[in-house]
Amino acid sequence: DAKTTQPPSMDCAEGRAANLPCNHSTISGNEYVYWYRQIHSQGPQYIIHGLKNNETNEMASLIITEDRKSSTLILPHATLRDTAVYYCIVRVRDNYGQNFVFGPGTRLSVLP
């Protein structure tokens, strides 16, 4: 699986958009980008994933650059409850599922 690079920490003001970058310059053509977050010591929570098109769901938007070497997770209106560690993971999809390789992630602090 390709490795990812994320800033160790970021701050965001409550109500503003949080833009979390992820670099995956060695991503291969069949690898997807996944985002999860972990609030305190809870189980990681799925946010969104994509291959090459931008994706949006009720939680966030995922913007993937045209060369696919980087992506940005956007939380449009961050709240205090969005304070968490955010993980960007790239991996292939497999018929029977494949494990994730988690890096250290980005610790997002949403400030009042």
Partner 1 sequence: DSGVTQTPKHLITATGQRVTLRCSPRSGDLSVYWYQQSLDQGLQFLIQYYNGEERAKGNILERFSAQQFPDLHSELNLSSLELGDSALYFCASSEGLAGGGTDTQYFGPGTRLTVL
Closest to partner 1 by CB, 9 vs 100, is 100
Q: Report the Cα 10 to chain-centroid distance in Å.
A: 13
Q: In the bound complex, what is the minimum distance in angstroms from residue 53's beta carbon to partner 1?
A: 16
Q: In the bound complex, what is the minimum distance in angstroms from residue 57's beta carbon to partner 1?
A: 11
Q: Which stretch binds partner 1 (CB under 8 A): 19-27, 51-59, 71-79, 98-106?
A: 98-106
Place of tokens 């494949």: 98
Query: Per DSSP, what are the bridge partners of residue 73?
Result: 20, 62
User: E strands, the chain, where?
Assistant: 9-13, 18-23, 31-38, 45-50, 55-56, 61-64, 70-75, 84-92, 106-111
Residue list 43-62, contact with partner 1 (CB under 8 A): 43-46, 49
Residues of the shown chain interacting with partner 1 in the complex, contacts defined by CB under 8 A: 34, 38, 41-46, 49, 87, 93-104
